[in-house]
Amino acid sequence: MTVMHLRRWLLGIVLLALVACACGPEARRVETYGPDGASALPSSPTALPEHDFETYTALLEDLRGTPVVVNVWASWCGPCREEAPALAAASTEYGDRVQFLGLDVLDAKPDARAFIEESGWSYPSLYDQTGAIRDHLGLLGQPVTIFYDSEGNVVQTHVGAIEPDELTRQLEALLAG
């Protein structure tokens, strides 16, 4: 092997190592928000940061220790509009005992932001422009409400608009378990 071939081979190995490091678990860190970067959740309900499935699961991992309710929705979805007031009321009532998180799917950001404001949601939503996160979760449409316990396990998945009494029942079971 000539010196030139050896240099190219070593350069290739170094580049491969750099790419491997850049694409490892650290590259999938959850984006942090807020002035000190301390929170993995957007500080504003209307921020709608784009996420993929890996950053969504990393965010859920970051939220371990707190029960999480994820509501999959879209501004153009009639049943999503029906359940919106119950979700707003529940997120206010349960406060910091349960983290509510929206997942806006296949939507236009201006319409989604208007819907969030109309609904009075105080909790953040992620933006799933292509529906990839929803699809990775094995869901076919929206609305869907997923209840995660404080260990990050799915304990209930409600397909369709959730009624206020069912939402309360699931939240109480989530906190009792």
What's the chain's length in residues? 177
pTM as predicted:
0.80
Number of domains the chain contains: 2
Same domain, yes or no, for 143 and 65?
yes
CA 64 to chain centre: 13
Per DSSP, helices labelled H in the chain are: 3-22, 53-62, 78-94, 109-119, 132-136, 164-176
Domain co-membership, 117 together with 148:
yes
- Residue type at 154 in one-letter notation: V
What is the band of 135 on the pLDDT scale with cuts at 50, 70, 90? very high
Q: Tell me: do 118 and 169 sit in the same domain.
A: yes
- The range of the structural domain enclosing residue 6 comes to 1-30
54 and 20 assigned to the same domain:
no
Spatial contact of 83 and 115, defined as CB atoms under 8 Å apart? no
Tell me, what amino acid is at 77? C
Q: How far apart are CA 157 and CA 141, in angstroms?
A: 13
| Side chain identity, residue 110 | P
Residues 19 and 104 in one domain: no
For residue 79, is the peptide bond before it cis, meaning its omega torsion is within 30 degrees of 0?
no
CB atoms within 10 A of CB 156: 15
Same domain, 83 and 104: yes
pLDDT in tens, 151-173: 999 999 999 999 999 999 999 99
